Amino acid sequence: MNIINKRGLLDLIAACFLIMFFATNALSLTSEISPSRISVTSLYHGSKLVVTGETRPDEEIIIKFSSPESKFDLRKKGKAGGVFWMNIGELEFNHVSDVYLVYATNKIGSILSEKQQEKYSLGYDAFKRLVEVSPVSDESDKVKWVGEFVKFKEKNGIYGIFTDRIETEIKDNKKIYKLKMDWPYQAPPLEYTVSVYSVKDGVVQDYNETSLVVETVGALKFISNMAFNNSSVYGIASLLIAIAAGFIVSVIFKGGGSH
């Protein structure tokens, strides 16, 4: 009985340690996004966004904004007839996110191993390996066009990797991080995934995900729905309004007696 009690007590202590160990690990990384919902109204031109949280003091932080993977068909430019730069065909990009914004406290290549980058799709090196492009002649052709894809998206403001935007401070043996950013107006209304990773020794120690909903509301939502779901009425209404506008302006000018 005594032995059983002793054994039970030891088990209980071990279990407590285990629970405490996992609890501290699981709770070590926190994150909060504000606002978590962005309403796109008529005067929308992007939004201020803040991601905050805490982690262990010796860990780096990576924050990734991405949309569901999809397919993109783009035109590619090249030299036709050896002289003129023009569209020479189309390329299909598969398994790519429309928006890919990554913020880190350090260069991703220096804080995360290649394997881990690929596992969590973090950084352009991993991105380039994971994306599929067709038609391409060989690997170097693929690398070239994925590079062009990234350039194209960066120019639109919806792709980027930034290592100087997250502010950190150590307080009560915790690293408190804060990312203040301008959410780009070019990012279409979608549900985005915001993934936060804590990294140490080249390995992701912990991560959590939350969603960011960007949605059109009010008149914009009405117009958008009508354009796609009731396109004949939308076409006719648009025409009538355009003609009426032209006519009214014409009458205003005549009414003004300017000729």
Partner 1 sequence: MYFYLPIALTSISLPLIVGLGLLVGLLSGLFGVGGGFLMTPLLIMIGIPPTVAAASDSLQIVGASTSGTFAHWRLGNVDFKMGIYLLIGGFVGGLGGVQLIKVLRMMGNADFVIKVTYVLMLGIVGAYMFFESLQSLKKAKHAKQGTQAAETPSAPKKESGFVKFLKSLPLQTRFEKSGVTHSALLVIVLGGFVGVLAAIMGVGGGFLMVPVMVYLLRMPMHVVVGTSLFQILFTCIEVSFLQAYVNHTVDFVLAVLLLLGSTFGAQIGTKLGRKLHGDQLKILLAVIVLVVTVKILLDLLLEPSLLLSLKGGH
Among 9, 27, 80, 170, the residue binding partner 1 under the rule CB under 8 A is 80
> In this complex, which beta carbon is closest to partner 1, that of residue 130 or of residue 217?
217
Applying CB under 8 A, among 6, 107, 155, 171 the residue interacting with partner 1 is 155
> Whole-angstrom Cα distance, residue 236 to residue 249?
20
Nearer to partner 1, 153 or 175 (CB): 153
Footprint on residues 6-25 left by partner 1 (CB under 8 A): none
Q: Report in angstroms how near the CB of residue 139 gets to partner 1 at its nearest.
A: 18
213 scored as a contact of partner 1 (CB under 8 A) = no
Which residue among 11, 69, 90, 209 contacts partner 1 (CB under 8 A)?
90
User: Exactly one of 57, 78, 109, 202 binds partner 1 (CB under 8 A); which one?
Assistant: 78
First to last CA, the chain: 112
- Is 119 a binder of partner 1 (CB under 8 A)? no
From the CB of 191, what's the least distance to partner 1, in Å? Answer: 15
Q: Where are the beta strands (DSSP E) in the chain?
A: 32-34, 37-40, 47-55, 60-66, 69-80, 84-97, 100-104, 132-134, 159-162, 166-171, 174-183, 191-200, 203-216
- 242 makes contact with partner 1 (CB under 8 A): yes
Q: Which is nearer to partner 1, 141 or 169 (CB)?
A: 141
The type of residue at 155 is: K
Q: How far apart are CA 108 and CA 166, in angstroms?
A: 13
Size of the site for partner 1 (CB under 8 A): 61
Amino acid found at 130 = L
CB of 37 to partner 1, least distance (A): 16
- Residue 213 CB partners (closer than 8 Å, separation 6+): 36, 37, 38, 191, 192
**255: Cβ contacts below 8 Å, ≥ 6 apart:** none
